[in-house]
Amino acid sequence: MPDRPAPSLTLLNFHGDALRPHLDALGQLRISVFREYPYLYDGNLEYERDYLQCYLNSPRSLVVLAFDGEEVVGATTCLPMSDEGPEFQAPFLAAGIPVESICYFGESILLPQYRGLGIGKAFFERREAHSQSLPGMEMTTFCAVDRPVDHPRRPVDYRPLDSFWTKSGYTKRPELRCEFRWKEIDESEETPKTLTFWVKQWA
């Protein structure tokens, strides 16, 4: 596979409130992609607008959108952990790691037909470059939902991204876990889910 984005796609960076014109497109993309396993997220746009507000509020945030023409087909996000919610900060504070030294990587999502083209690698490169442009950042991190290998909705051909993340320099840290609530496609209401962090140390 090529290591660069497909020629038909354009990747654009947005910081803080500059994302606002594309907020609903990003929300719809999250709803679509996260409905798949392993997140099984049953989302709505009102919730998305509220959830994504932290990226508008933080001038130090970065959101990279992938466009095919005028359509948003992929996205990746990051911001200083100190600008994120308490659920994500909690395990680092408990471990004595200052959140001011961490850049948190949120989602990295693509519609299925655009996967395998090197865009995921480009997303990581842009987020890491942004994190290194922020003073005091010593660590980048993201979290992934925990699912048992025998989960009934796990597709037969499902391939976890662990090897890609490891090759990108990230280490799974089972002691760093957070709890976040969302409604799954088979649920009538939100329930708590556990997510484990992967970490890359820069300092």
Per-residue pLDDT of the chain (203 residues; tens, 9 = 90+): 444 554 579 999 999 999 999 999 999 999 999 999 999 999 999 999 999 999 999 999 999 999 999 999 999 999 999 999 999 999 999 999 999 999 999 999 999 999 999 999 999 999 999 999 999 999 999 999 999 999 999 999 999 999 999 999 999 999 999 999 999 999 999 999 999 999 999 97
Task: State how far the Cα of 174 lies from the Cα of 10, in Å rounded to an integer.
Answer: 36
109: Cα within 13 Å, side-chain hemisphere: 25
| Both structure tokens of 68 | 């095919």
Contact at 8 Å (CB) between 25 and 35?
no
Contact at 8 Å (CB) between 134 and 62?
no
Q: Peptide bond before 2: cis, by omega within 30 degrees of 0?
A: no
Parse the chain into domains and list their residue ranges: 9-201
What CATH code is assigned to 9-201? 3.40.630.30
In the prediction, which pLDDT does 7 show? Answer: 53
Task: State how far the Cα of 55 lies from the Cα of 26, in Å rounded to an integer.
Answer: 12
Q: With a threshold of 0.85, does the pTM exceed it?
A: yes
Distance of CA 93 to CAs 88, 89, 107, 167, Å? 10, 6, 22, 27
Task: State how far the Cα of 101 lies from the Cα of 149, in Å rounded to an integer.
Answer: 33
Task: Estimate to the nearest angstrom the gap between the alpha carbon of 89 and the chain centroid.
Answer: 15
Q: Tokens 């497109």, residue? A: 25
Question: 178 CB contacts (<8 Å, ≥6 apart)?
Answer: 87, 88, 90, 91, 143, 194, 195, 197
Contacts of 97-102 with C-beta under 8 Å, sequence gap 24+, read 97/139, 100/136, 101/136, 101/137, 101/138, 101/139, 101/203, 102/137, 102/138, 102/139, 102/140, 102/141
Q: Residue 66 pairs with which residues in a beta bridge?
A: 11, 74
Contact at 8 Å (CB) between 125 and 18?
no
In the prediction, which pLDDT does 203 show? Answer: 76
